[in-house]
Structure formats: C-alpha cells, structure tokens
Amino acid sequence: MTMNYAYTPKIWPAFFTVLLLIALAFYSGRRRSVPGALPFAIGSLFGALWAAGALMEIAALNLPTKIAWFKFQAAWQIPLVTATTCFILEYAWPGRWLTRRNLILLSIPCLLPLGIILTNDFHHLVWLKFLYDGEVIPLRGAVNWTFFAYAYGLTIINLIVFAWLFLRSPQHRWPVALMLTGQILGRTVYMLGAAQALKSDLSPEVLAMVIENLMYAIALFGFHMFDPIPLARHTAIEQLKVGMLVLDPRGKIVSLNPAAQTILGSPTNHLLGCQIQELLPACTDLSGDFQAAGKGQDEISLGSGPEPRYYQIEASALNDWRGLAVGRLLMLHDVTEQKRTQAQLLEQQRALATLTERERVARELHDGIGQVLGYVKMQAQSARISLAQDQMADADSDLEKLVVVVQDAHADVREYILGAKLAASSHHGFLIALRHFLQRFQEYYGVRTEFIEPADWSDDLLEPTVEAQLLRIIQEALTNVRKHAKAQCVQVLIHLDDGRAQVIVQDDGVGFDPALLLDGGEQKYGLGFLRERAEEVGGKVEIQSAPKQGTRVVVEVPINRSQSTVNGKQ
C-alpha cells in the first residue's frame, strides 16, 4: 500500500491538539506521585495518538491510507476513555475506587478492540464497509455499537463521580465544573458527528478532543489541580487546633474550619452568613474595628457555668493586591488551660507571700510585745517597791506609765490582728482587701477614710509578693497616721501610669518638718521600714510633709509585665 500525503491547512487543529495533549502528559507525568496524575498522563498520551491518527488521515491522499489511519484512531478510543475514567476515580477518592482489581477489569476492554479491529476484514463486526464523501464515513457493525455503548457507559460513570465530587468538596468545584463541562460538550459533539448531524471542516472527534482537553488544561494550569501546596494548605487548616473564621467586609462569616465550628457549637451551614457580633457579643469592641487595617488582639470567654472556656482572638486584615481591605481573618486561640495554670500559680504565689508575711509579722510581734512585756515587768516591780516603801506618788507614776504602755500595746496588737485579717482577705483581691482594711481602720480608730480606686484595675495586675508588700506599706503608713498625725481624715488614692502602680496616702494631720528625717526620724516614724519593703519588690517610697499641712506618702511599685502589655494594647 503506497502512502501518499499532502499539506492542507486542516491539519493544524489536529497538530495543536497533539502538542496540547503531549504537554498535559508531560506536566502530569512529572507529578505522577500525586493521586490521579499517572492515569491522566497515560490518557493524554492515548489522546495524542488518536489526534496524530486524525492528522495523518487529513493529510492522506488516497482512500486506503485514510481508512488505515481511521482504524488507527479507533484503536485508541476505548483506552483513552478508560484512562480518563481511571484518572477521575483516583482523583475523586485516592486509593478507594481505583483498586488493583478494578484496574485489571477496566484494562481488559482496552485489549479486545485491538484484535477485533485488526481482523475486521474477515468478520466485519466493527465496520461493515467504508464510504467516502470528502471524509471517511464508516458503516458501523454490531461490535462497534457495543464499543460505543461501553464508552458512553464509562462517560456516565465519569459524570456521576464529577457530580459527587462537586457536592462533597468545595475546593474542587471550579476544576470539576470545567472538566464536567468539557466532558458534556465533547461527548455531545462526538455524538453529533457520529450521527452525521454536524458538518465542519474539523473532524468531530478532533473537535471533541480539543474541547475536553482545553477544559482539562485550564483546570490543570489555572487551578493547579495536581499542585500539592493548595491541598496541603487546606489540610493544615482543617487539622488546625486553632479556630479560624474568615469574614467579609460587612463582618459576615464566609468560611471557617472545623475547630471554629466546635468552638462556636453550631453546624457550618448555620454559621455561614452570620454576623460575627451575633456569635461573639463579648467582642463588640473588636468587631467594630473590622474595617481597620493591621492586627488586633482581645480575650473573650464562651460558655456558661462554673468553667467557661477562654479564647484569645487575633484579628488580621485581608487585603487584595491593591491594598484594599476585602475582609478579616480571626484566629481563636484556646487559652483556658493557660488561664487555669496562671490562676493556680498565682494562688500558690499568694499563699507563699502570705506565709512569708505571717513569719515577718510573728517576728515583729515577738520583738515588739517582748519589749513591752519586759517594760511592763520592770514598771510593775518598781511600783511594788514604791508601795512597800509607802511611796504613793512614785507608785502612782509607775502605774500611770504602765497604763499608757499597755494601752499602746493593746492598740498595736489590734493593729497586728487587723493586718492579719488584711493578709487573709488578700486572696479575694487586692482592692477588696484594702477596702475592708480601711473600713475597719475607720471603725477602730475614728479616723475617716476615703478610697479612690483606679478604673482599669484587674486582680492579676500585681504579683502576689508585690500585693503583700504594698498592703503592709499602706498599713504601716496608716499606723503612723494613728500614732503621730492626729488626723481627722486620711485619703488613699491609687492610679496606674507607665507600667507602675502609684499609691498615695494623704492625711490632714499636724505634719512634721522633713528635716527631722535626717536626724534619725525615719526610725521613729517607721519610714525605713516602708522603704525596705518597697525596695524588696522594685519600688520606692517618697515622704512629703510640712508642719500643720499633713503628710503625703507616695509609693510606687511595678506592674505585672504581661498585664501591662495587654492593657497597653487595649
């Protein structure tokens, strides 16, 4: 058989189809480790052989040559459809549907047409004969229609799998929609060509192949269907323990991961489209700033009952390539265990601070009461001797001194007891303990107290050791007011400034000359005691006074660093 060929412009669509299919085979073959890539590469090679046969048929000049290339094309049609089905099954559910047994069963129909096509001249089961009217027109036999039905049966399976994947996997919807459209259009064009209802300079088979593989090319190169990076990102988001919410510019939820669904306690379909303010009412300050750029953090609690869950919300702006805001990304970090651990550590630190303070008070009480009792013993013996010698004036003087000392000792013991109650009540919070202490101080000693509290105070603003020392400093300052100031009113003011807490104890008493502090007055007024306690926790004390103008004690102590940072951001 003599092979004669001639150039015609009609070969170009088939030629470009061959190049496209080879490029697809090369692209997916290099990524054959990705599920579905290898059967797609094989199917693309089968398609390239089919398109090459169509090209040679168009270029052939005599009828026998055209018929030979027509049969060559037919030999690759069933393998191409089978490879496409294998690709779709593996892509839709890797390792589940395209098992080794199913692959063998699908491969058997690919081998049968080869033998039947090669021996068609003896039995004419595939084609009864061929006609020529500008193109080869086959008269199909019974087996040919069987192949035709088998191919369309696989196509129906492909469409079903595509529809299932479209409904089950949102991230595959655009690629699936494109490939599904290509399958439907390609099969439609092929059926019209087979029924001689479509007249075109381009072969219906080649036209169908161009449509299908063009859609595959867009899905592959446009959506990176075989690129593992988007899949890895999706998997990482799905497995993320941190809740993730994506909001549109109006603050509505447009996407969320399973962790966020669990945190919010509702199905995904109920959460999509909801306003974030409705789901997180405690986060109104943050939600009101969705249009702003940059990042922000806030902390909320979810759930009712004795053990709510605490979450730190990290908000980030989502900007497009022009820098315009298109939404917000919220990350919900569960900090419940951290909060519980911090609370337990804080409680242990407070217990240790209380124990340390009790030991200090015990030493002070032992030393103070010991000296008083020694003095009482000495005065009592002196009064007894005076009475024995009938020196009534001396005995009366000794007893008078004894009464004064006992009264002072009684006041000191009451103050120690008051301080012990102050330390015990500090477990309920610094401000509560201080408020109760000032109330009892007013009741015991008749000095009116005024307390000006800070608006932005929190119970974990000070370290437990700082709290304990600050309470004792305030107690000692009020002791000086009771003993020396002769005041009618004392005011305690607390405010926060630049990472430090400042406490001011101001009285309206007689005051004193600050120069006295230079001559050992610190020991008399216990001011050395105040400075010693303040310096132990990194603080300082300043005394301001003048005769008949009252006294002002200013104490500064450091704030908890982490809380200082949070307050600064808020």
Domain positions in the chain are: 9-226, 231-339, 429-563
CA 381 to chain centre: 77
Report the 10 Å Cβ neighbour count for 127: 20
Question: How many CB atoms lie under 10 A from the CB of residue 153?
Answer: 12
Identity at 306, one-letter amino acid code: P
Q: Which residue has the tokens 């900090």?
A: 335
Rounded to 10 deg, the angle between the 37-59 and 63-75 helix axes is 170
CA-based angle 262:265:270, to the nearest 5?
Answer: 105
Instruction: Give the fold, CATH level 3, of 9-226.
Output: Rhopdopsin 7-helix transmembrane proteins (1.20.1070)
The CATH code belonging to domain 231-339 is 3.30.450.20
CA dist 70 → 50, 118, 321, 325, 554 (Å): 9, 12, 51, 58, 102
Rounded Cα distance between 3 and 82, Å, is: 31
Q: What pLDDT does residue 294 have?
A: 47
Name the DSSP letter for residue 171. Answer: G
First to last CA, the chain: 89
Q: Judge contact between 319 and 293, C-beta under 8 A.
A: yes
Helix (H) or strand (E) run with residue 253 in it: strand 253-256
Q: In what order do the strands lie in the sheet with 500-507?
A: 448-452, 489-497, 500-507, 551-558, 540-545
Rg (CA), the chain: 46
pLDDT of residue 84: 86
AA identity, residue 61: L
At 550, give phi and psi (nearest 5°). Answer: 75, 180
Residue type, 161: V
Cα 85 off chain centre by: 40
Question: Under 8 Å CB-to-CB from 475, ≥6 apart: which residues?
Answer: 415, 418, 419, 422, 437
Alpha-carbon distance 508 to 488, whole Å?
7
Pairing of strands 489-497, 448-452: parallel
Contact call for residues 59 and 6 (beta carbons, < 8 A):
yes
Q: What is the pLDDT of residue 449?
A: 92
Q: Which CATH architecture has domain 429-563?
A: 2-Layer Sandwich (3.30)
Whole-number pLDDT of residue 416: 61
Tell me phi and psi for residue 396, to 5 degrees. -65, -40
Helices and strands (DSSP H and E) totals, the chain: 22, 12
Task: Please report the pLDDT score of residue 569 as a whole number.
Answer: 41
Instruction: Give the residue ranges of the chain where pLDDT is below 70.
Output: 1-3, 194, 196, 198-203, 206, 220, 224-228, 282-297, 304-306, 349-350, 353-354, 356-372, 375, 404-405, 407-428, 517-526, 561-570
pLDDT at site 450: 92
Instruction: Using alpha carbons, list the distances in angstroms from residue 383 to 120, 254, 339, 401.
Output: 144, 92, 63, 10
CB count within 10 Å of CB 45 equals: 20
Q: Rounded to whole angstroms, how far apart are CA atoms 531 and 476? A: 11
Mutual angle of helices 142-168 and 173-194, in 10-degree steps: 160
| Phi/psi of residue 301, nearest 5 degrees | -125, 140
Non-local (6+) Cβ contacts of 343 within 8 A are: none
